[in-house]
Amino acid sequence: MPKITIDIFTDVLCLWAYSAQIRFDQLKRDFGDQLELRYRYIPIFAAAKKRIAKGWKDKGGFEGFNQNLRETARQWEHVELHPRVWLDNVPESSSVPHLYLKALQLLEDKGMIDREPLPKHDQRSLFEAYAWEIRRAFFAEARNIGEMACLDQIAETLGVPVVPVHELLDNGSAHAALHEDLEARDEYMVPGSPTLVFNDGRQRLYGNVGYRIIEANIRELLSDKQSGLASWC
């Protein structure tokens, strides 16, 4: 059976990536074992406060950014947005949760946490459930997921083993894994969050892309036995 891998590049503090998770979940339901989703993290909000303060300096600052996000989110029924998001408990950096997530992926690779879909987590794996819950903690509850104490608390609630996570943070393994994501970002010339990369970098979908467009790309790759070769166009 043919199988393709999609590299999904996001920042956990990106609203559009938060909204897009419903599409990634649907891909797993529709394609099952034919598809591997490989989650990668990029530092759009690595200096979160500076990014917003500078980018929204003439547009109302944090208040303007908050209002813009709330207006954007009104079009979506599947996500919840706290009225004080980016105003209360603002993270310093998305790099801290990104490192935590890379540690979880390493535990998954080592077989220390299950990668199988879990019914109690809407068929997400434990890693995927954790990634969703920290996003939801920030966007829906206005919690500071840039703090280790918050990340640990969410992990413990889900049954994630916190001690081995911290071991991978302490010994640099999570940092090395995150660096590999940055190298992949540069190799594939990823423009932002979210970006889906198919076919070893030959195809990219960036931004608020509809599910049917993503689905069509996957079905074309699955049906084309020469998808890894040079294209006619």
24 near 8, Cβ under 8 Å? yes
Domain ranges of the chain: 4-223
Cβ neighbours for 198, distance < 8 A, ≥ 6 positions apart = 4, 6, 204, 205, 217, 218, 221
C-alpha–C-alpha distance, residues 2 and 227, integer Å: 11
CA gap 64, 57 in Å, rounded: 9
Answer yes or no: are the C-beta atoms of 101 and 169 closer than 8 Å.
Answer: no
pTM: 0.93
- The CATH number of the domain covering residues in 4-223: 3.40.30.10
Compute the distance between CA of residue 12 and CA of residue 118 in angstroms, rounded to an integer: 22
pLDDT, tens digit only, all 233 positions of the chain: 678 999 999 999 999 999 999 999 999 999 999 999 999 999 999 999 999 999 999 999 999 999 999 999 999 999 999 999 999 999 999 999 999 999 999 999 999 999 888 877 788 999 999 999 999 999 999 999 999 999 999 999 999 999 999 999 999 999 999 999 999 999 999 999 999 999 889 899 999 999 999 999 999 999 875 554 444 33
Q: What six digits make up the tokens of 45?
A: 């909000």
- Long-range CB contact pairs, 208-215, < 8 A, 24+: 208/16, 208/19, 208/20, 211/23, 211/26, 214/23, 214/27, 215/27, 215/30
Q: Report pLDDT for 168.
A: 98
d(CA 27, CA 32) in angstroms, rounded, equals 8
Amino acid code (one letter) for 95: S
